[in-house]
Structure 1
Amino acid sequence: MAAADLTPVQPHHRFDEARLAAYLAKHLPDFKAPLTVQQFKGPAASPAFMLHSPGRNFVLRKRSQPKKGCSMAESIERDFGLLRALHGAGLPVGQPQLACTDESVIGAPFYLLDYVPGRHFRDPGLPGMDAKQRQAHYEAMAETLARLHALLPAQTSLPANGSGLDYLTRQVTALIEQYRTNATDEIAAMERLLDWLPAHVPTDDVTSLMHGNFRLDSLTFHSSEPRVVAVHDWDLALIGHPLADLAINCMPWRVTIPGMGSLQGIDFIESGIPGEPDYLNAYCRHSDRDGIPHWNFYLAFALFRVAVMAQGIVKRGANGNPANPAAAQALKVYAALVRSVANQAWNLIDGSDDG
């Protein structure tokens, strides 16, 4: 998160800033008034706010929805515990300061951590950089993901909840159920994936921390160096499989998702941005891997995940019967995305060495 991404607090997220300042004065050492608040742009399960106080800035996050099986307060405490574990292990996150489960302060549980200044990139094409700079920033992203995956699950404070193999099996089962609930049209490639994926989950049972949505705009880079100084958006973090996390990270090479940026159509040689094979090689170097077996399965899994999420948007939109022409057009875009991503996923595994 960077200061350039700030906006006034949105009406539906406003809270009593004076009450918050009084709470911080009581619970946060060295806090100084006055306090001013801005909101970071972008949707998130945990809306983020910049708190400005004399000589010190903080990031406040609250949740819009709790994690599955948790209350809102438990979700915030879980997120805060993970951040403390990551910071304690020397990984790039702002230093956690406090967690508050008293909803009377701002209307929802929240946590606070130090703001880490730096550069934040929303366009994965990295306009304004030369080829060498782009390559170095993508190398830094691969290195950071490998570092996260190297953290022992027991060090994260997250519940183990099974192994990496358990994660893949549970996720495939849950995504299939979610898709069947939301399906509006029969798509041949999706029907094939529904049968193929659960029957071909790899047996290489590797377990690690998963960020769950790791991409370039989840990172803050050093103000002048190609070095990651903070990783954000830990809402989907859990103990799972590192290669599923890597495949999710590689989605910009594979698909264009509205509002999320893409590497589709990039000239990798001219731009300096690594193609997917080179990016995977960088990840393998930093994680001491000789290669990635069953890569097509993990890609198909990640693409299937995108298709299922897009289908959920289509179903919700269809139930709402949008009269707005722009909304109706957006639904058509998502419906087309479901088909194109499903076809791409099936083409990856049809005849591949993943069986």
Structure 2
Amino acid sequence: MSSTPPPGSPPPGLDPERLRGFLDRERPGLVAGPLTARLIEGGRSNLTYGVTDGTGRWVVRRPPLGHVLATAHDMRREHRVISALRGTAVPVPETVALCEDESVLGAPFYVMEFVPGTPYRSAAELAPLGPARTREAVLGLVDTLVDLHAVDPAAVGLDDFGRPEGFLDRQLRRWGKQLAASRGRDLPGIDELHAALGRGLPASPAPAVVHGDYRLDNVLVGEDDRIKAVLDWEMSTLGDPLTDLGLLVMYSAPLELPDSPVSTTASAAGHPTPGELIERYAARSGRDTGAVSWYTAFAWFKLAVILEGIHYRYTLGQTVGAGFDRIGELVPVFIEHGLTTLQEG
């Protein structure tokens, strides 16, 4: 029996009539006619839908179907951080409404404005831009990250958005526990990497609003190659800003794996090198990036744990779709990159 809804029917998890009823109550006059909805592909965790009444366009975010971990899919947090950043130098969509009444769509959700733009997910998608425009877009990604980290959390009402004290230690312990929970095979080097990260824990700079999953396919790039909106704030918190830089640097390192199910944009012609990204971030933010190798190695470790979790669920028959059968091959590659990055640092 197919799980794909028939053509013209609403996507799973969003009833357009119930959504319209909610919006008519919360924002009278916003919607001018019947709503239609489509699922927007690409979200890693929370579900994203495009909604229109034929004139206006909006985006709805809700947790995945059958979610059980409320803290991992906290719509209030996402809505709060996007609303707080509106009016700063960080481009974010304007929020329309938050609904915590699960009787409307079966889970909490929020509605925001639709922002035109492209989330570039691979080098192939960047190719039509050409080297100069690709370089401009990726350097703009760094500049927007600097703008995010320059936001004073207290000034935008986010001073209680996280616990910055001991942030790195907690992160390392959290991902170590995650690894233990999804460990179904021997992974040479991963314990060594985890231990080395623990021994080399750097002193964090002043805390900032951290995105948590900052990369090119989590932003929308406009036709002028500028960042129009930063999306997917589900992992945002107050913490060490250099964790965002480390992740961005990791995603900018060529994986050199043909047909990899995990794509990066690093091999695109014109894409800045990791060193150029670090240099631009340091120059524009004024932060000391001397320990960036640790943060990048931590990003390799974190992604290795995430991929091992996906592989573990695949071996248990809990995942469906293309590419999952090859995820397990990537984990040793990420471990090796993490170890090498630490040694070179």
Please give the range of the TM-score, normalised by the shorter of the 2 chains: 0.7 to 0.9
How much identity, in percent, do the aligned residues show?
A: 25
Report the number of matched residues.
332
**TM alignment of 1:135-174, pairs within 5 A:** 135-154=135-154, 155=156, 157=158, 159-163=160-164, 166-174=166-174
| Alpha-carbon contact 2:10-2:16 (below 8 Å) kept | no
Q: 1:99 to 1:207 in 2, by over 3 A?
A: same
Q: Which position in structure 2 is the counterpart of 1:334?
A: 327
| Alpha-carbon contact 1:124-1:216 (below 8 Å) kept | no
Amino acid at match of 2:263: G
Q: Which position in structure 1 is the counterpart of 2:276?
A: 278
Deviation at 1:136, TM superposition (A): 0.9
**TM alignment of 1:230-241, pairs within 5 A:** 230-241=229-240
Structure 2 unmatched runs, 5+: 1-5
Deviation at 1:297, TM superposition (A): 0.7
Q: Which position in structure 1 is the counterpart of 2:290?
A: 293
Deviation at 1:63, TM superposition (A): 1.3
**TM alignment of 1:197-216, pairs within 5 A:** 197-216=197-216
Deviation at 1:182, TM superposition (A): 2.4
Amino acid at match of 1:150: A
Q: 1:232 to 1:97 in 2, by over 3 A?
A: same
**TM alignment of 1:74-89, pairs within 5 A:** 75-89=74-88
| Alpha-carbon contact 2:10-2:37 (below 8 Å) kept | no
Cα deviation code 1:4-43 (max 9, x no counterpart):
xxx9799772433222212212221432112221221124
Deviation at 1:44, TM superposition (A): 3.3
Q: Which position in structure 1 is the counterpart of 2:219?
A: 219
Deviation at 1:307, TM superposition (A): 0.9
Partners of 1:214 and 1:204 in 2: CA distance: 18
Deviation at 1:115, TM superposition (A): 0.8
| Alpha-carbon contact 2:11-2:38 (below 8 Å) kept | no
1:303 aligns with 2:300: yes
Q: Which position in structure 1 is the counterpart of 2:93?
A: 94
Q: 1:45 to 1:262 in 2, by over 3 A?
A: closer
Cα deviation code 1:67-88 (max 9, x no counterpart):
6658x7xx22222111110113
Cα deviation code 1:257-313 (max 9, x no counterpart):
95442245x37xxx2211111122222233233x51111111110000011111112
Give the secondary structure class of the aligned counterpart of 2:315: helix
Partners of 2:24 and 2:277 in 1: CA distance: 46
Q: 1:196 to 1:98 in 2, by over 3 A?
A: same
Amino acid at match of 1:111: Y
Partners of 1:293 and 1:16 in 2: CA distance: 50
| TM-score after normalising by structure 2 | 0.86
Q: 1:121 to 1:195 in 2, by over 3 A?
A: closer
| Alpha-carbon contact 2:122-2:265 (below 8 Å) kept | no
Q: 1:77 to 1:181 in 2, by over 3 A?
A: closer
RMSD: 2.8
Q: Which position in structure 1 is the counterpart of 2:42?
A: 42
Deviation at 1:96, TM superposition (A): 0.7
Moved more, 18-27 or 95-104: 18-27
Partners of 2:318 and 2:83 in 1: CA distance: 44
| Alpha-carbon contact 1:221-1:228 (below 8 Å) kept | yes
Q: 1:105 to 1:41 in 2, by over 3 A?
A: same
Task: Give the one of 337, 341, 344 matched to 1:344.
Answer: 337
| Alpha-carbon contact 2:261-2:327 (below 8 Å) kept | no
Q: 1:68 to 1:242 in 2, by over 3 A?
A: farther
| TM-score after normalising by structure 1 | 0.84
Deviation at 1:253, TM superposition (A): 2.6
Partners of 2:21 and 2:10 in 1: CA distance: 22
Q: Which position in structure 2 is the counterpart of 1:16?
A: 15
| Alpha-carbon contact 1:17-1:36 (below 8 Å) kept | yes
Q: 1:140 to 1:321 in 2, by over 3 A?
A: closer
| Alpha-carbon contact 2:11-2:37 (below 8 Å) kept | no
Partners of 2:295 and 2:60 in 1: CA distance: 34
Q: 1:253 to 1:118 in 2, by over 3 A?
A: closer
Amino acid at match of 1:274: P
Q: 1:298 to 1:235 in 2, by over 3 A?
A: same
Give the secondary structure class of the aligned counterpart of 1:254: coil
Q: Which position in structure 1 is the counterpart of 2:3?
A: none
| Alpha-carbon contact 2:14-2:37 (below 8 Å) kept | no
| Alpha-carbon contact 1:48-1:62 (below 8 Å) kept | yes
Give the secondary structure class of the aligned counterpart of 1:303: helix
Give the secondary structure class of the aligned counterpart of 1:105: helix
Q: 1:10 to 1:179 in 2, by over 3 A?
A: farther
Partners of 2:241 and 2:312 in 1: CA distance: 30
Amino acid at match of 1:119: T
| Alpha-carbon contact 1:78-1:158 (below 8 Å) kept | no
| Alpha-carbon contact 1:98-1:112 (below 8 Å) kept | yes
